[in-house]
Amino acid sequence: MIRFLRVFLKFSMPKSRINQIFKRSSQQIYNVTLFFLFFMSLYGLLGVQFFGELKNHCVMNNSETDDMGRPKLTINSLAIPDTFCSMDPDSGYQCSPGMICMKMDFLSSYVIGFNGFEDFATSIFTVYQAASQEGWVFIMYRAIDSLPAWRAAFYFSTMIFFLAWLVKNVFIAVITETFNEIRVQFQQMWGARGHIQKTAASQILSGNDSGWRLVTIDDNKHGGLAPETCHAILRSPYFRMLVMTVILANGIVMATMTFKHDGRPRNVFYEKYYCIEMAFTFFLDLETLFKIYCLGWRGYYKHSIHKFELLLAVGTTIHIVPIFYLSGFTYFQVLRVVRLIKASPMLEGFVYKIFGPGKKLGSLIIFT
């Protein structure tokens, strides 16, 4: 039987050709894995920012109180069935008459489960569970009952689209492409054929003592008023590394912000973070102005990534205005982590291949 199977599993191609195919396919699988981990981390962070602790339950209004006047909450105090609720009377689920909405801090994770958005690690586990499409609707209903419904609708619909649908199909496409390439190699016995990638700018082949490389013609066009020194700084990898480090530091620092419901005003908890956020916003606004100064308005605005950076700069600048600090403009500050894609040119190119231009992605969504 084993000899019979070896007849069909025997490769007639040279070993170097086979190794080349497997090397290329393993690189594509590695890119898909990075793609998956990026969205896992992104939605884990967004879950903490959007929801936080979801521990508000409907309890009986005649619960006993302790010496300090606080209610003694037990499992028997919960509604049947157990119902999550919102402290805000204008959003979420409101408890029925005879019951009040209270926070159940005494319940451990062994009782209520290990899914939720209390911290980053728990949020990652919850995102993984939701991405598998097993029980994710119960987590969504919990968020809808506890907070404004639009947050849960936006969060879970986009997460299912990216993680459960897009990443899964991309992984299948990579496997299919690998087998298709093997089939082509068997049929025609040609070398690996590469496709010329379409770029927004013209490129020429330039050579020197170190070798040959493609040079973008637009890189040598200075549409702005800045001197050559500023353009050299803008093209420097150290400048990009500095910006990526600042964005990463901003995400890490802001992820440590916590609120405690102990009666103190909310501004007590974010006073230090507000000053830090102002410093990060000032630096990234200077980065945007520096790029416009070097490239000129037309040269800057024609790139899609620059449009996104400009949108974040405007949104985060409005966000640091005191009256808008805890408003919806906070999401612009959270979306800064998306810029970390540019830290890896390989991942950036892979994401561009998946999404393409905005018009192409919109046409694909409408068609599907």
Question: 155-189: per-residue pLDDT in tens?
Answer: 998 888 888 888 878 877 777 777 776 666 666 65
pLDDT at 123 over 50: yes
Question: 79-93: per-residue pLDDT in tens?
Answer: 778 788 888 888 888
Rg of the chain over Cα atoms, rounded to whole angstroms, equals 27
How big is the CA angle at 286 (ends 282 and 287), to the nearest 5 degrees? Answer: 120
Question: How much is the pLDDT for 68?
Answer: 60
Question: How much is the pLDDT for 338?
Answer: 85
Question: 234-261: per-residue pLDDT in tens?
Answer: 888 899 899 999 999 988 888 888 777 7
More reliable by pLDDT, 72 or 41: 41
Q: Which domains can be identified in the chain, with CATH numbers?
A: 17-55+107-191 (1.10.287), 219-367 (1.20.120.350)
More reliable by pLDDT, 76 or 341: 341
Question: How much is the pLDDT for 357?
Answer: 59
* 9-18, 142-151, 325-334: range with lowest mean pLDDT: 9-18
Q: What is the mean pLDDT of residues 334-357?
A: 74
Where does the pLDDT of residue 67 fall: very low under 50, low under 70, confident under 90, or very high at 90 and above?
low
Q: What is the mean pLDDT of residues 19-32?
A: 75
Question: How much is the pLDDT for 314?
Answer: 93
Where does the pLDDT of residue 51 fall: very low under 50, low under 70, confident under 90, or very high at 90 and above?
confident
Question: How much is the pLDDT for 198?
Answer: 47
**By percentage, how much of the chain surpasses pLDDT 90?**
9
pLDDT at 47 over 80: yes
Q: Structure tokens of 217?
A: 């013609």
Cα–Cα dist 85/56, whole Å:
6
Q: What is the mean pLDDT of residues 215-224?
A: 56
Question: How much is the pLDDT for 280?
Answer: 92
pLDDT at 190 over 70: no
Question: How much is the pLDDT for 12?
Answer: 55
* 106-120, 147-161, 193-207: range with lowest mean pLDDT: 193-207
Question: How much is the pLDDT for 318?
Answer: 93
Where does the pLDDT of residue 279 fall: very low under 50, low under 70, confident under 90, or very high at 90 and above?
very high
Question: How much is the pLDDT for 104?
Answer: 76
Question: 293-328: per-residue pLDDT in tens?
Answer: 988 888 888 888 888 899 999 999 999 898 888 788
Where does the pLDDT of residue 282 fall: very low under 50, low under 70, confident under 90, or very high at 90 and above?
very high
Residues with Cβ within 8 Å of 213's Cβ and at least 6 positions away in sequence, in order, are 205, 206, 207
Question: How much is the pLDDT for 114?
Answer: 72
Q: What is the mean pLDDT of residues 222-244?
A: 84
Question: How much is the pLDDT for 288?
Answer: 92
